[in-house]
Amino acid sequence: MAGAASLERLVRDDALTLFEAEFQQISAFWSTLSLDTSLTAASSIEEAVSSLKAVNDMIANTSMLYWQRRLAQIQFSRVVRSFEQIIGRQSKAGRIKRRRGHGNATVLLELCRQGWQWQPSMGDIQHRKRLCLRWSILAGGSLFLAFAYSERADHMMQVSCPLKATSLIFSDLLQLQSRLFLQSQSTPSNQSADDADLS
């Protein structure tokens, strides 16, 4: 099928082999990243700003492995979502004052500009949020898929219409996952691609 062929070009040819070989390192990195930067309902604004900055710094660090930066993008999306929920709760409690018409996303930007050494514009933050959300959707909760997508997928996320990109991905995603599952069953390993998730 043409759609399946297009999808496979978005996945590294050696994805399954490399994932199985490096699973322990990948899993450990994700566990540490999640533990160190995830927010809870009890997290303070200062903790949220610090977590978002830490994840943003990882994304910007070109010396890190591609999959580490990609996982950082997924975590960025999660931290932003939690951060905006914290802002909403604190606003209702009267602990955050905001001007009329300023939503949680605008308040988040203002708080980051106060707490970060660099001064991101609204456009900077919005672009980062969009890109990281695309990766979060694209991975679909799968640690393997977060690792497996090729540089072509990176390029698509940067320049393509997100609706076009997600349509291409999800039209044959289940078929691809089924093929990879069957392949993993025929190859002895300690960890198969379908076992790992981003929980």
pLDDT tens for 150-164 read: 877 777 777 655 545
d(CA 60, CA 72): 10
Nearest C-alpha neighbor of 120 from the set 29, 199, 33, 57? 57
Residue 16 has pLDDT above 60, yes or no: yes
pLDDT confidence of residue 1: 46
Domain residue limits, the chain: 14-149
Give me the mean pLDDT over the 138-151 stretch.
86
Provide the mean pLDDT of the chain: 78
- Better pLDDT: 88 or 72: 72
